[in-house]
Chains A and B, each alone.
Chain A
Amino acid sequence: MYGVVGYLDRAGDGYAPIGSIALKMLRSLSPHAPDSTGAAFFMPQTHGQVLVAVKIEGDDERTLSGRVVRRVGRKANVVKSRMVGHTLQLVLDAVEDLRGVVDVVESVSEIGGVECFSVGRCLSIVKDVGSIEHLEEEYAFSTIRGTHMIGQARLATESRVDMSHSQPFWARPRPDVAVAHTGQVTNHHKLRRRYEAQGQRFFTDNDAEVIGTFLALEMEQGASLEDAMRASLGVLDGTYAYVAATEREMGAAKDFMGARPLVIAETDDFVVVSSEAAAVCEGLEQDLVTWEPDAKEVHVWPIRMPPVADPFGQSASL
C-alpha cells in the first residue's frame, strides 16, 4: 500500500508534462512510502510503433539485454533500444503479433531477471525500488510528456520489496492497460490460483498484479474499462482504492466500504486523482478543491484527444 496518483490532460496537444507532474505528486507522497516508486505513462502513438519496457536484472545486464534485443529482432523490427536504469526500453516497428513479442521477451526469463513491465502503443511503465528522487536520477522521469499517467509510491505491507513488486502493474496480457492500488486485496491468492489454472502468468505475489489481470481478462471479453472496474468491486475483497488506465482513459475506484482514501479534482484542463489532497495540490502547484468519492464508486475520464501519429517525433524521448 501507500499512495496512488493519476493525472489526465484535457487541454493540450497530447504532450502535457505528465512526467514532471508525476514527479511532484509522488515526491509529496514519498516521505511515507520509501520502498518503491513508479508510474505508467501514456503517450500519443507514433506511426503504430510498439513500446516495450523490459526489466533486466542480473549480474550481466548487458548480455541479458543483448539477448532480449536479438530474440525480439526475429519477430519485429527494433527501431530503438536503450537501457535506462534496470529497464530495457524498446521501440518496435512492423509488429503483427504483440503477444508473440511478449512471449519472445519472456522466453529469456527462463534464465531469470527478465520480465515485461509494459507493452503497448502508448504505454510505458517506469518503476524501481527506492524513492522518487532515485527514480528521477536513474530514469529522468520529469522529461516525459504525454496524455495521462498513473503512479504509485509504495510502503510494502503484503509482499516483498523488489523491482517487480513495484507498482504500477501492466494489466497482463492486454496491451496499453495499467493499474496501481493502495490498500489490500485479501482474496488475491485465491484469484491468482484460478487465473494460473487458466494459463495466466504472474511474476509477483503483489495483490495489484491480480487487479490488472482481472481488468485485462474482462476487457478481453469486450468490457469497457468502466464496466471491468465496476465488476472488479464484486470480486476483489479487502479494503483498497485503485487507479487504472488504458490508452484512451483513466479511471479510479473504491472498495465496497470506501475504506481507503482517494480524492479527485477536476477542471476543464485536467483531472487529477490521488490518495492525498497534498499530492494533488503539490502536483499542480496550486490549491485545488478536491472531493472524495463514496464507497463502490467508479469514475472514468476519457482523454480529449485520441492518440495520433506524431510527425515531429516529440515522443521519441522515450
Chain B
Amino acid sequence: MFFIEAVDRTTREVNQLIRRAIEQGEHDIHVYDPRGRHSLGVAFFQPVHLIFGGSVGFYCGAMGDGPTVEIQGSAGWSTGEGLQSGSVVVRGHAGNATGAAIHGGIVCVHGNAAARTGIGMVGGMVVIGGNVGFMSGFMMHDGDLIVCGNASERLGHGMKGGRIYVAGAVKQLGEGVTEAELTPDERTRVEGIAATAGLSYARPFRKYTANSAGGGTANAVDIGGAKNSPGLSG
C-alpha cells in the first residue's frame, strides 16, 4: 500500500505521484484527504487499485482503462466518464453525468447520482444504489444502467440502445422509451449485479429500452424549458 497526502498538493502533483508509484510497481495506492479536487486519477491504463479517502471533484477516474478506483466520500460531475475498462466505485453520492459515455467497465455509486447519469453510454455498466436525476440514460447507445432507487423525469430520453433497469419509481419516461419484458434470466443477472455491488432494493426491477421505432429524435423534442408566466410574457 502506497500513501499520498493530497491536502497540500495540487491535482497535478497528486496525479504525478500516483503515476510515479505505478511506475515503481505499486498496486494499491491510497490518496488521503482529496478535499474535492477535480480530475484525480484520470487516464490511468494499468490494473492498479486507487483509493481516494474522501470526497473528490469532477472527472474522478475518467478515461480509465484498467484501474479499480474507489472513492470513499462523494464525487462530483462526470465521475468515470469515458471509462474503457476497470471500475469506479463511489461510497457516497455522485454529481451530474456520472458514468457519462463509458465504453466498458463499471461505474457504481452507493448513494444517489444526480442529473444525466449514464448519458451517452456506449457500453459497460452504471450501477446506482440510490436515486438518479433528470434525463438519466439520455442518448444511451448500449450498456446497462441499473438503478436501485427512483428515477426522475425523462429517463432514457432519446436512447438508441442499451437497457435501463429501475427498482423504484420512475417519475417520467423520456421520448422514445418504453417498458420491456424482463426475462427470468435477465432478472437473475441484474439482481446478481446489484448483490455483487452490495446494493439493496425495495421492489423488483423493471426494464426500459428504446421503443421499436428505434428511439425518439432527441433534438426535435420540446424538453420543457422555462415558460414566461402569463404576467411576464410578450
Contacts and interface: CB of A to CB of B under 8 A. Distances in A.
Contacts of B36: 28, 276-282, 290
A80 interface: no
Nearest to A278: B36
A140 to B, nearest CB: 26
Interface stretch (A42-50, A96-104, A123-131, A230-238): A230-238
A202 interface: no
A148 B232 CA distance: 32
Interface residues of A, number: 36
A257 interface: yes
Contacts of B57: 276-278
Interface string B132-167: 011100000000000000001100000000000000
A257 B223 contact: yes
Nearest to B72: A287
Interface in B50-93: 53-58, 73-74, 76-77, 92-93
Contacts, number: 116
B24 interface: no
Interface in B118-135: 133-135
B233 to A, nearest CB: 9
Judged by DSSP, the binding face of A is loop
A293 B114 contact: yes
Interface string A221-239: 0000000000101111110
A83 interface: no
A292 B114 contact: yes
B15 interface: no
B226 interface: yes
Nearest to B152: A294
Interface of A: 28, 187, 190-191, 194, 231, 233-238, 255-259, 261, 263, 276-282, 287-296
